[in-house]
Structure 1
Amino acid sequence: MLQHETVPVVQPEPVARPVDDVKVDLRQVIGASSLGTLFEWYDFYLYGSLAAFFSGLFFPTGNPTAALLASLATFGAGFAVRPFGAIVFGRLGDLVGRKYTFLVTILIMGLSTALIGFLPTYQSVGLLSPILLVSLRLAQGLALGGEYGGAATYVAEHAPEGRRGYYTSFIQTTATVGFFVSLAVILATRLLLGDATFKSWGWRVPFLLSFVLLGISVYIRLRLHESPLFLKLKSSGKVSKNPLKESFANKENLRYVLIALFGATAGQGVVWYTGQFYALFFLQNTLKIHFTTSYILVAISLVVGTPLFVVFGRLSDKIGRKPIMLAGCLLGAITYVPIYMGMKYFATDPANPNYVGLAILLIIQVVYVTMVYGPIAAFLVELFPTRIRYTSMSLPYHVGNGIFGGFVPLIATWLTTATGNIYAGLAYPCGIALLTAIVGGIYINKSGRLEGAVDA
């Protein structure tokens, strides 16, 4: 059980000078890490952007509701394995280094995504179709489980003291930008090819594009140098020999993993997926807004809101991570129901909705997303020591996002279907966000750094 006490404050870890005279360009580090991570999120969220559409391609069509739930469950399967990817690749990253680990993850992600573009449909091969789809989604989830922790750790370990929130916030934009790019590519492909062609074979094009993005990503990451803090550990012979044991068998470190999960990442995860993915599903499936209109409305909210990731990341360097993240969770818990009631009101006529009203409500939800997500990479990095950082931070992040957050569309849709109340699904994200606000408010102090985490 967690003790009723706050996490003690210590000074940030000193930034080591790169060893072996490696000159580091921080802009190149951020750009290369962010671009590769953006491509991974694009790959991962292509399916999410098409989940409702895929229900008619890869699953039996006799029962549309069952097919939709099966499609959403497949979407969730990719999230369910992310914690396992965090363990596998987190351990590898703490043993052999950050750079080579997230090079492996991007290869797995890119190939898995591109192969979805070659899959046969249910009409062609029956049950083999969803089996192959789920297998590739699991591979994507494993890869993403290792990607984020590596990229966030890599950037943070290059960043100067007192500016980790600002520099890691650029990594934080990649998930939303990747989602935006997936929407844009799908919409452009659908409009260029037409509905009939898109439904026949055009849906494969965004997935096959991953071959190109994979080539760019691998080229960029091969040019990167290893993290200076990891090189310092390695040169001094202090690299962890058993990151899993040190991360989860050590009582004190496990306590911080649990604090990170229930006091930060669980609420952050549900706010992220409610404000973007569930909002899209709600527009399309509940309010019956045309796919073009719904994509454009969500895309507008993402474009308007994305710069706020950097704003809140930078602000967290000045006032702390905790107040910003927990305020976003609390605002979501309190206002989601009235926001979605407002969306219903503005879409009374699905053929002629109030575009401005819907856009404003979507933008508000993205603002919450930027509040909880902008500072969290810096928060997690500073919570754990360098020797086990990749492993320790990856697990709570991917449980919070992959399990609590990733299943928002499925759980919310199931609750709505089971009760007949279109707002019933919001009980899940509201409840988790409120829980996080309470736990984080009690057990995390302003900075949330781990006592004794300064590298020797």
Structure 2
Amino acid sequence: MATTYDDGLPKHHAATQNEKLVIAASSLGTVFEWYDFYLYGLLATYISAQFFSGVNETTGFIFALAAFAAGFAVRPFGAIVFGRVGDMVGRKNTFLVTMGIMGLSTFAVGLLPSYASIGVAAPIILLIMRLAQGLALGGEYGGAATYVAEHAPEGKRGLYTSWIQTTATFGLFAALLVVIGFRYGLGEEAFAAWGWRLPFLISILLLGVSMWIRLQLNESPVFQKMKDEGTTSKAPLTEAFGTWGNLRWVIIALLGAVMGQAVVWYAGQFYALFFLEKTLRVDGATANILIAIALALATPFFVFFGWLSDKIGRKPIILGGCALAAMTYFPLFGALTNAANPMLAAAQASAPVTIIAHQEECSFQFDPVGKNKFDGSSCDVAKAYMAKTGITYANIDAPAGTPATVKVGTVSFTAPVPTSMVGPGKDAAIAGFQDALKVGLAEAGYPPKADNAKINKPMVVAILWALAMLVTMVYGPIAAMLVELFPSRIRYTSMSLPYHIGNGWFGGFLPTTAFAMVAATGNIYYGLWYPVVVAAATVVIGLLFLPETFRRNIDE
């Protein structure tokens, strides 16, 4: 006799209208939450001008960085707090709460008075709102994924939950479209003055719609069954993390699946955009359009790989995507340089740049507050200028006391020794060196920015699409795998923490970490070692310890 659900339906069946509503409502609500989360990043320039203008430049920039990073940093704590509530109170009510917190926090940013109006309270309140957003997102994902998976028919969890996996990309699209629409509709001057608030304010409408839709839903059948039988967890944190039997699976999920998924996700969508704009000097509008096209073409494959994981398993697809990323990132980003800025690629091949200096005299060329002039040594003067150009260079050690030399092809430029100079003479010598080096780089064929007419746009889209396809491989099946890995009584808590440590910390800080690695070495590709090593480590750990889960019964 076939196994059936409580409603009499067989476990393998076509999606009912109620199940379609569950997927649509859960996904739509999560799209809105990602929309809210991404707005801060897209409007960071305007927010910085409004809320950090009254403090000195260094302090203001530190606050801006802290507020941006806060949303990533607190996501695991949101997972702990709301995961516990979700396992004790229920899936539906918990993600209604997280949605409310996210929506109201975002709306409040649109109303928040500037620094000019209320002083230092403005950036402090802004930081609190950003923390609230991160906490809410930390609780939202686990609830939505668990809720959808526990409604899904046996054998279709990958397909059903893959719709949740599309929401981050759709949320980014929604935020981009709204911001672009208001900027063009109002004009840059009006948008900078007050129009930047409108994308935050209209989020209250999105909140109302998504809350109304989700209120039409019933509790997850798995949780309702546990509640009726009195078998819900009374201490989900203790059961999830206080017992080695479950904690080991949390650790394996993080190291053997999620951390690799996270770096592939952020490298394929965010770091690729950063690389185009900051390193290859493609103008921002063009870069946004190209990556938007690639993401639009790749997004259906979240669902495809979710469906495929129901047929062949989660593990080979997730680990396969991590392995492909580790093997292809260097050639793909190299090809991206050739396609997006062929003049830069040609110059790097014909006239490679080398800095010859005593390495112990060289400072770490990464300054998060933008105040260090890096003019304390000859090496610093040389590297500081090269760091601003974004041009890759090699390092060769020289004897102590030797002035640093920048070699462009066969032509050398000797940097001044600042310690032997003071006042205007020092500044003039540094400026003279920079001017000469600028001319030398231009004569060697290094362009100040990418020539839009020479960008091979179809090839750039194809490369970005390939990077995004790796994202869909690792991300499409991950929700179903995490749901299946843990028992129902502590599922929300257990799956949320590794997901948000992986994506909030390993993934969220990837652009900053990779940029620091590039700045430290001078090699524009060196930052790729971060996602490559993490993805490769996930493949090894996952192969050794991660179980296959796609045939598991999650009703227990």
TM-score by length of 1: 0.89
Aligned residue number for residue 374 of structure 1: 476
Aligned residue number for residue 418 of structure 1: 520
In 2, Cα distance between equivalents of 1:339 and 1:86: 34
Matches within 5 A, 1:252-263: 252-263=245-256
Matches within 5 A, 1:8-407: 16-17=5-6, 25-51=18-44, 54=47, 58-59=51-52, 71-121=64-114, 127-348=120-341, 350-352=450-452, 353-407=455-509
In 2, Cα distance between equivalents of 1:145 and 1:220: 21
Aligned residue number for residue 348 of structure 2: none
The structural deviation recorded for 1:301 is 1.3
Which one of 424, 429, 439 corresponds to residue 541 of structure 2? 439
- Relative distance call for 1:324 and 1:70 in structure 2 (3 A) is farther
CA RMSD of aligned residues (A): 2.6
In 2, Cα distance between equivalents of 1:15 and 1:287: 56
The structural deviation recorded for 1:58 is 4.5
- Relative distance call for 1:274 and 1:53 in structure 2 (3 A) is farther
- Relative distance call for 1:55 and 1:364 in structure 2 (3 A) is farther
In 2, Cα distance between equivalents of 1:371 and 1:133: 36
Are the equivalent residues in 2 in contact too, given 1:15–1:158 (CA < 8 A)?
A: no
In 2, Cα distance between equivalents of 1:230 and 1:329: 33
In 2, Cα distance between equivalents of 1:216 and 1:303: 25
Are the equivalent residues in 1 in contact too, given 2:332–2:463 (CA < 8 A)?
A: yes
Consecutive unaligned residues of structure 1, counting only runs of 5 or more, are: 1-13
- Relative distance call for 1:87 and 1:418 in structure 2 (3 A) is same
The structural deviation recorded for 1:262 is 0.3
What do the CA deviations read for 1:309-354 (whole angstroms, capped 9, x no partner)?
0000000001100111111112222222232233233332524132
In 1, Cα distance between equivalents of 2:161 and 2:270: 23
- Relative distance call for 1:316 and 1:213 in structure 2 (3 A) is same
In 2, Cα distance between equivalents of 1:84 and 1:27: 31
Aligned residue number for residue 8 of structure 1: none
- Relative distance call for 1:445 and 1:167 in structure 2 (3 A) is same
What do the CA deviations read for 1:40-64 (whole angstroms, capped 9, x no partner)?
1111112233446655554569999
- Relative distance call for 1:166 and 1:382 in structure 2 (3 A) is same
The structural deviation recorded for 1:273 is 1.2
The structural deviation recorded for 1:15 is 7.3
In 2, Cα distance between equivalents of 1:61 and 1:330: 48
- Relative distance call for 1:316 and 1:426 in structure 2 (3 A) is same
Aligned residue number for residue 11 of structure 1: none
What do the CA deviations read for 1:123-142 (whole angstroms, capped 9, x no partner)?
66665444333221110000
| 3-state SS, counterpart of residue 25 of structure 1 | helix
Which entry has the higher C-alpha Rg, 1 or 2?
2
In 2, Cα distance between equivalents of 1:216 and 1:68: 36
- Relative distance call for 1:58 and 1:346 in structure 2 (3 A) is farther
> Is 1:408 equivalent to 2:510 in the alignment?
yes
More displaced 10-residue stretch of structure 1: 335-344 or 324-333? 335-344
In 2, Cα distance between equivalents of 1:66 and 1:361: 39
Consecutive unaligned residues of structure 2, counting only runs of 5 or more, are: 9-15, 342-448
In 2, Cα distance between equivalents of 1:125 and 1:338: 51
Number of residue pairs the alignment of both structures matches: 438
| 3-state SS, counterpart of residue 224 of structure 1 | coil
More displaced 10-residue stretch of structure 1: 293-302 or 419-428? 419-428
More displaced 10-residue stretch of structure 1: 350-359 or 236-245? 350-359
| 3-state SS, counterpart of residue 151 of structure 2 | coil
Identical counterparts, % of pairs: 58
In 2, Cα distance between equivalents of 1:361 and 1:401: 23
